[in-house]
Chains A and B, each alone.
Chain A
Amino acid sequence: MNNNHYRDLELMMTRRQLFGKAALGLGTAAMANLLGSDLLAAAGNKAGMHHPAKAKRVIYLFMSGGPSHHDLWDYKPKLSEDYGKDLPKHVRDGQRITGMTSRQKTLPLAPSKYKFTKHDNNHKGVWVSELLPHTATVAKELCVIKSTFTEAINHDPAITYIQTGSQVPGRPSLGAWLSYGLGTLNEDLPSYVVMHARTRFAEQSLFSRLWGTGFMPSDHQGILLRSQGDPVLYLSNPKGVSSDDRRAQLDALATINKRHHEKFADPEVLSRIKQHEMAYRMQTSVPELMDLSKEPEKVFELYGKDARTPGTFAACCLNARRLAERGVRNIQIFHRGWDAHGNLPGEHQSQCKDIDQGCAGLIKDLKRLNMLDDTLVVWGGEFGRTAYCQGKLSRQNYGRDHHPRCFTTWMAGGGVKPGITYGQTDDYAYNIADADGNPIKPNKDKWTPGTMHIHDLNATILHLLGIDHKRLTYRYQGRDFRLTDVHGHVVKDIIT
């Protein structure tokens, strides 16, 4: 079914006709979207699209550039023993290397300079680096996945891959799929909100395709919540125009539009009148959302003082919680600067300082408000970093190249088992390993227990939100596309 057909259906058909059409083969997901929030509300939004949902909403903390799992989560004392030795051939085992290190004469192993401490969780404990002291305090809430993997070895393809399911541009983003699948629970705010957090190291680009809609109708695109200028593009009235003026304008506008509708009976006109009204309400609801003055002091203690500065990661996290409270189901924060080819310690220290307390604060805050159970929080980047050094190696300073074979991601809340680790890596954190520590080479075509391909990750995220990743499809060019392409496995081992 094409977009316009779809749009016409949404607008023109009566509810009765819609149900008839759906019974004739329209997918349930599309169905939900046709009916928007009404259906979900009627069905009870915990019911989920395809199965009962564990999470009502998702907050995705995306670390763009590829954080180093070696320095944050994946503790490998062996690397310290082998400091400076060349990465053994059998460990590399044919892995292609980016053009940045492929001409290096040696691939010297670089142990993390940071101290790791084992923190209690609900299982065997989890090692966390001293760079993340606050995150370590919520270890009992985290499901730390050490075996995330991808095929892409460069940023643009890798980030496009994890966010859209394809390494080349053109597909809808994860967020767009969720918007398409979940609809909205708040008539006064957009259903899918994206924030860009400030960083000292703005290395690597972001692309609007990461929250774009590809071939899907563009109303599923992420709405940017900005810290500069209008929080939502064009939100404020022009200079010299008051809210009362706008009200009077909208009334006149509705009259002209209704006249148009009387003449042409085009149902799209009625929808547009509705959108003008929602825009008007957003002019109140968004400033109210951004106004932190009523947040008690203890909340700022959770997120840290940064949360008072608009645009910081902590402030974005607090905004995310406020959005979640207001029924926004689909929230993403992008934090750049994790691409540490050289001077990794210097850069990662600053990066971690940016995000650490915000992450912990968000989880504690959601917990405090009894929202963590049905809010899925996801943290991670597009790939990991190499065990070996890029450039000059010392105990105190080193760099790491891109590494696709394993990296760490964590999830919390929203139906994910709290306080566990999932998957493991070999002594070099270079390969995913089986339970005995032997390297294995999983692939995207067939799931191997203990592993999490990025398609598996996305399938699992959708699953937790009540969506079957195989059934959330969109017909384009004759093919029923889905986020996970022809791959993806729901990793039930991490689900409560």
Chain B
Amino acid sequence: MKPFPVLLLLGSLTSFLSAKKVDFAREVLPVLSNKCFVCHGPDTKKKDLVRLDSFEGATRDLGGYRAIDVASLKDSEILARLHDADDPMPPEKAEKKLTDQERDLLSRWVKEGGKYAKHWAFVKPQKPEAKGNAIDYFVGAKLQAEGKDFAPDAERAVLARRASLVLTGLPPEPKRLQAFLDDGKQDAYERFVDELLASSRFGEHQARYWLDAVRYGDTHGLHLDNKRGIYPYRDWVVRALNENLPLDQFITWQLAGDLLPKSTLEQKVATGFVRMNPSTAEGGAIPAEFQAKNNFDRVENLGISMLGLSLICARCHTHKYDPILQTEYFQLLAFFNSTAEGPMDGNRYEYAPNVRAPSDQKAWKEWEELKAEQAVILEKLEQRNKTASPPDPAYPVSNLSYKFYHGVWDKMPDFSKLKPKKEGKLSTGRFDLSARDRDDGFGFVFNGDFHCPVDGEYVFATSSDDGSQLFIDGKKVVDNDGLHPEVTREGKVTLKAGKHRLEVRFFENTGGEVLKVSWKAPLGSAEVAGKANPMSELQKKAADLASRIAAAEKKFTTTLVAKELPKPRVTKLLHRGEYDQPQGEPLQPGVPAALGILPKDAPANRLGLAQWLVSPEQPLVARVLVNRIWQRTFGEGLVRTPADFGLQGEQPTHPQLLDWLAVELRESGWNLKGMLRSMVTSRSFRQSSARRADLPDPENRLLGRGPSHRLDAEVLRDIALWSSGLLDPFMGGEGVKPYQPSGMWKALMHPGSNTKNYVADKGERLYRRSLYVYWKRTSPHPMMTLFDAPSRESSCVQRSRTSTPTQSLALLNETQRVETARKLAERLVRQAKDDDARLNHLFTLLASRAPSEVERAACAKLLAVMRERYMDAEGDALALLSVGDIPRDPKLKAAEVAAWTQLAVIVLASDAALFIY
């Protein structure tokens, strides 16, 4: 193709600019990386080949000459070879050639001294100085350099809609919108934003982006693609974001929540992140192969989701562009290689290790409240135990604790050789079996203090089904061992007044489970019997709470978690990434040298990895995260290649702003809501989205206008549900299944798969927010994938935004779209008297404004046509109003609602509703 004038113009522009000194990191390094490193980069194998990825390499003596000759720059070999017609570099057969500008650039760089600098993203960000609002300061400066200013602010209603969609994924409620428009106070917008940030819809919307990045799915992802128990992880993400859990902890819990001291259930659930890799149990698959593949997947996901780096190259050989050695890849892999799950999922929902957790947000909240209440009471009982001796004169047992075991026995096992499944305190002092998680095949050992009021002979008894034994000060007093229904046995022992060690052992094989412990003090002292003893109010409360908690925990659901093997697996470099070709010495977990070192005292496990990721020295993580926060707010990142901050990635459009934000994120205590607040309240964000005649910038790289793009699949569906009043606000729980054309799963799936039949839900679950739509990774819901949602088989930090005819068909014909349109139509017909008011309402819901005159006329015309059409065709009207499960409102005139439905469908599908602007 012949060069066009545009090219010539650009050519002269570069020479005009060439007076400026070459910026190595920004200008030269990308060229070297893209065009030269393929042979002369970090993975160069030939020893005699010059390496151009470092100053030392480039200035090495190559036998009387050097690629860059510092002593005599003009004799540098690069200069000669760049322009050598017979033996040029890159060579004739190279896949990528240099352009003239690039040749010119490299020559100038060498002539200016051939200095090297580290790639910008691998240097720890420093906070540049900014005046006023930092975002606007940097954006404004760049606009000013082009001789431009910010665009005027968007209209207030438009801005309210934009902020609401960015933060919560839904438009503003018409009443709230009106209140905002009527609010004349200076900080009206800021208060509006604060409300959005506090809404529980916030976490649901923001979570989607993270779930894309970590490839969250409800199925295993490979082969049978069976169901996987993992949704409590999804719900945890929502909760963490709603509660504004600092992002450093957000990351740490996910990578290593199980390794934190006294880790909580939430922290364990968060480690579902580590288990998010697709997995298989295909007959015939080789475990060692999948042990390797699962780990590759985790390392590479860490690369994309947190480091913004492609690590995949380094799996097979040292990275061609970025300074990541193959050894370092496997050192990163070593962090993940010692998790306890097997390499194959067994096609099982429970694919161990797992924990049981509350199954939705309401259940979480209730359980947490119970636990909090319990903690207060237990603390009180604990205090009483410490002060009173005996703690309760009416009840001589204190400091009772239990250990709970799994196992099937015929007689009392030696518990000291077994590992308890659970341990805990029983501040009630009761020999309570409610901590068990099963009714058969278990055992308990109770330990506590027994307070004797006087010297004398004490009689102890146990009644149990099956066996039990009672020990005082290590001596067996009651032996009620063996398999039997409830049987009582006694034993006598002479004791001094004071505290004695009491131990009760119990096991249950099958059938009923009973354990009662009682005692009689010598004559003359107060007789206390274990069973008959009245509990104090506090003890009653504690017992009640314990049983309520047990009831709540019975309803818990399984979720996959990470757990460390007691002894780590050996990790070795795999030659060419082949699982069956381990090479060299075992590798210790470690991080790539170019990106820093593990903090001092950081353990060599996932917790250490997390500590490194969030340490102030780490150059990438804060930049990568803040770039993605920017991307979901402004539509595009400051770095337009959010998955690649490496040498081949794009430079930031606003490098100083990116660094400022990255440091600010960390210094603010990793405060996500704070960061979003400063973004959406900036003047940069508030600008009108209209394209500017005075600023031709198709990609908005100067940020001289507000965001404008089609909304994501989930948001489109949610808006429709919300505007129709059908949206079910219930949060969390197992993935929901809205309507889907029949046979879609069956056409693909193995007959043995438990996801081969798609059975649509009934009732409210049809109308739940799209975040909760069941995610089958080999065949996600078509309303998601048609609108660019990823499959979640691999990481996605940037969705495409396509426009296709199949989208149009889906918007206008899909069952739920039509169903929501007809309920929206009913809402309009019911709530407003005349057409004008109804149209106003419709547009206010979807576009936060009244229709323009042109729109009003077009809508009125369509309405007139449709009214006439359905007037004489009630059958058609009723047919249309029967699409979807929810019945029509029989009080409304079918023809009228049908006409409004036809209109509502298209306004819902119009760009006024589909776009953020």
Say yes or no: is A241 at the interface (Cβ < 8 Å to chain B). yes
Known: A190-B806, A205-B749, A266-B691. A3 touches B800 (CB 8 A): yes
A25 and B285 contact, CB distance less than 8 A: no
B730-770, CB < 8 A from A: 741-743, 747-751, 753
Asked whether A24 lies within 8 Å of B99 as measured between CB atoms, the reply is yes
Whether B694 is near chain A, meaning CB under 8 Å from some CB there, is no
Which residues in B have their C-beta under 8 angstroms from that of A369?
none
Please indicate the chain A residues that have their CB under 8 angstroms from the CB of B690 in the complex: 263-265
Whether the Cβ atoms of B708 and A19 lie closer than 8 Å is: no
Measured between C-beta atoms, what is the minimum distance from B725 to chain A in Å? 20
Residue pair A154, B285 in contact (C-beta under 8 Å): yes
Asked if B880 and A238 sit within 8 Å, CB to CB, the answer is yes
Cross-chain contact B806 with A208 (CB below 8 angstroms): no
Tell me, yes or no, whether A223 is within 8 Å of chain B by CB: yes
Q: Chain B's nearest CB lies how many Å from the CB of A276?
A: 5
Q: Are A275 and B778 in contact (CB under 8 A)?
A: no
With a cutoff of 8 Å between Cβ atoms, the chain B residues found around residue A496 in the complex are none
Which residue from chain B places its CB closest to the CB of A28 in the assembled complex? Answer: B1
CA distance A249 to B749 in the complex (A): 38
Q: Are B883 and A23 in contact (CB under 8 A)?
A: no
Most chain A C-beta atoms within 10 Å of own C-beta, residue among B222, B648, B804, B854: B804
List of B residues within 8 angstroms of A170 by Cβ: 793-794
Residues of B within 8 A of A3 (CB): 798, 800-801
Segment touching B, from A129-137, A209-217, A342-350, A430-438:
A209-217
Instruction: Indicate if B689 sits at the interface (CB-CB under 8 A).
Output: yes
Q: A207-B748, A255-B855 are in contact. Are A2 and B883 (CB under 8 A)?
A: no
User: Given A207-B778, A238-B880, A240-B879, are A202 and B750 also a contact pair (CB < 8 Å)?
Assistant: yes
**B912, A256: Cβ atoms closer than 8 Å:** yes
Asked whether any CB of chain B lies closer than 8 Å to the CB of A38, the reply is no
Provide the bound-state CA to CA distance between A92 and B858, in Å. 74
Q: Check if A7 sits within 8 Å of B802, measured CB to CB.
A: yes
Q: Is the CB of B805 within 8 A of A190?
A: yes
A200 CB to nearest B CB, Å = 11
> Distance (Å) between the CB of A309 and the closest chain B CB?
16
Q: Do B223 and A156 have beta carbons less than 8 Å apart?
A: yes
The contact string, 1 if C-beta is below 8 Å from chain A, for chain B 866-885, is: 10010001011111111100
Contact indicator B643/A208 (Cβ below 8 Å): no
Known: A207-B778, A240-B898. A282 touches B809 (CB 8 A): yes
- The secondary-structure label for the interface of chain B is loop
Give the contacting residue for A16; candidates B6, B859, B898, B914; CB below 8 A.
B6
- Interface presence of B399 (CB below 8 A): no
Interface residues of B in 163-186 (CB under 8 A from A): none
Interface assignment of B892: CB less than 8 Å from any CB of chain A: no
Instruction: Assess whether B743 is in contact with A226, with CB atoms less than 8 Å apart.
Output: yes
Contact present for A216 and B800 (CB under 8 Å): yes
Q: Which of B283, B779, B803, B880 contacts A219 (CB under 8 A)?
A: B803
List residues of chain A with CB within 8 A of the CB of B778: 205-209
A256 and B806 form a contact (CB under 8 A): no
Contact check, A272 vs B898: say whether CB atoms are below 8 A apart.
no
- Interface stretch of the complex, out of B534-542, B663-671, B900-908: B900-908
Tell me whether A155 and B804 are in contact (CB under 8 A). Answer: no
Assuming the contacts A233-B782, A236-B813, A256-B907, asked whether A268 and B640 have C-beta atoms less than 8 A apart, the reply is no
Instruction: Please name all residues of chain B whose beta carbon is closer than 8 Å to the beta carbon of A5 when the two chains form the complex.
Output: 640, 699
Give the complex CA separation of A476 and B800 in angstroms: 12
* B284 touches which of A9, A98, A169, A470 (Cβ 8 Å): A98
A259 touches which of B297, B801, B854 (Cβ 8 Å): B854
In the complex, A4→B796 CA distance in Å? 14
* Bound Cα distance A255, B818 (Å): 21
Q: Does A279 lie within 8 Å of B780, measured CB to CB? A: no
Query: At the interface with chain A, which of B239-247, B384-392, B502-510, B783-791?
Result: B783-791
- CB atoms of A223 and B806 under 8 A apart: yes
Q: Which one, A155, A169, A196, A204, contacts B791 given CB within 8 A? A: A169
Contacting B741 at CB < 8 Å: which of A190, A229, A241, A248?
A229
Q: State whether the Cβ of A78 lies closer than 8 Å to any Cβ in chain B.
A: no
CB-contact partner of B788 in A156, A218, A228, under 8 A:
A218
Which chain A residues border B798 with CB–CB below 8 Å? 2-4
Interface status of B117 (Cβ within 8 A of chain A): no
Contacts A245-B902, A259-B854 given: A208-B805 contact, CB under 8 Å?
no
Least CB distance from B681 to A in Å reads 22
- A 183-241 contacts with B by CB, 8 A: 190, 196, 202-209, 212-219, 221, 223, 226, 228-230, 232-241
B878 contacts A240, C-beta separation under 8 Å: yes
Q: In whole angstroms, how far apart are the Cα atoms of A229 and B286 in the complex?
A: 40
Determine which of B646, B858, B905 lies in contact with A256 in the assembled complex, contact meaning CB atoms within 8 Å.
B858
Q: Does A402 contact B (CB under 8 A)?
A: yes
Note all chain A residues with C-beta closer than 8 A to B225: 205, 207
Question: In the complex, A235 Cα to B741 Cα: how many Å?
Answer: 11
With A205-B223, A476-B643, A478-B321 known as contacts, the answer to whether A237 contacts B813 (CB < 8 A) is yes
Q: Which residues of B contact A190 (CB under 8 A)?
A: 805-806
Question: Which residues of A248-270 are within 8 A (CB) of B?
Answer: 248-253, 255-257, 259-261, 263-269
B915 adjacent to A100 (CB under 8 Å): no
Residues of B within 8 A of A19 (CB): 1, 4, 6
Contact: A99 with B788, CB < 8 Å?
no
> Chain A residue with minimal CB distance to B874?
A240
Q: Specify which chain B residues have a CB less than 8 angstroms from the CB of A471 in the assembled complex.
A: 95
A173 to chain B, nearest CB (A): 12
Name the A residues within 8 Å of B640 (CB-CB).
Answer: 2, 4-5
Q: Are A2 and B641 in touch, CB under 8 angstroms?
A: yes
Most A C-beta atoms less than 10 A away, residue of B224, B580, B808: B808
Residues in A with CB closer than 8 Å to B698 are 8-9, 12-13, 267
Task: Please tell me if A477 contacts chain B, counting CB pairs below 8 Å.
Answer: yes
The yes or no answer to A243 lying at the interface (CB within 8 A) is no
**Is B402 engaged at the interface, CB distance under 8 Å to the other chain?**
no
The answer to whether A264 and B689 touch across the interface, beta carbons within 8 angstroms, is: yes
Instruction: Give bound CA distance, A259 to B917, whole Å.
Output: 13
Q: Is A20 close to B, CB under 8 A? A: yes
Q: A255 with B912: in contact, given A16-B6, A478-B647 (CB under 8 Å)? A: no
A396 on interface, CB distance cutoff 8 Å: no
Partner of A252, one of B708, B818, B861: B861
Cross-interface CB contact of A234 among B10, B278, B810, cutoff 8 Å: B810
Tell me if B284 and A196 are in contact (CB < 8 A): no
User: In whole angstroms, what is the CA distance A408 to B791 when docked?
Assistant: 32
Question: Could you tell me the distance between the alpha carbons of A442 and B2 in the complex, rounded to whole angstroms?
Answer: 43
Would you give the shortest CB distance from A231 to chain B, in whole angstroms?
11
If the complex has contacts A16-B6, A208-B778, A255-B854, are A249 and B906 also in contact, measured as CB distance less than 8 A? yes
Task: Tell me whether B800 and A218 are in contact (CB under 8 A).
Answer: yes
**Which residues of B have CB within 8 Å of A207?**
225, 748, 778-779
Query: B709 an interface residue at 8 Å Cβ cutoff?
Result: yes
With CB as the reference atom, state the residue of chain B lying closest to A208.
B779
A1-44 residues with Cβ-Cβ distance < 8 A to B are 2-5, 7-9, 12-13, 16-17, 19-25
One of A100, A228, A250 near B742 (C-beta < 8 A): A228
Besides the known contacts A233-B810, A275-B805, A477-B304, 11 further A-B residue pairs in the complex with CB atoms under 8 A apart: A7-B800, A153-B286, A202-B750, A203-B750, A218-B788, A229-B743, A234-B812, A235-B809, A241-B880, A264-B689, A266-B911
List 22 contacting pairs A-B, 8 Å CB cutoff, sorted by A: A2-B641, A2-B650, A12-B698, A23-B3, A25-B99, A190-B805, A202-B750, A205-B223, A205-B748, A216-B800, A226-B741, A229-B743, A234-B813, A238-B815, A238-B880, A256-B859, A265-B691, A266-B708, A282-B809, A470-B95, A477-B312, A478-B644
Interface pairs A-B: 4 shortest CB-CB: A478-B648, A98-B284, A20-B6, A240-B880
Q: Report B's interface with A, CB cutoff 8 A.
A: 1-7, 10, 95, 99, 221-225, 278, 280, 282-286, 293, 296-297, 304, 309-310, 312-313, 321-322, 580, 636, 640-641, 643-644, 646-650, 689-691, 698-699, 708-710, 741-743, 747-751, 753, 778-780, 782, 785-786, 788, 791, 793-794, 796, 798, 800-810, 812-815, 818, 852, 854-855, 858-859, 861-862, 865-866, 869, 873, 875-883, 898, 902-903, 905-907, 909-912, 914-915, 917
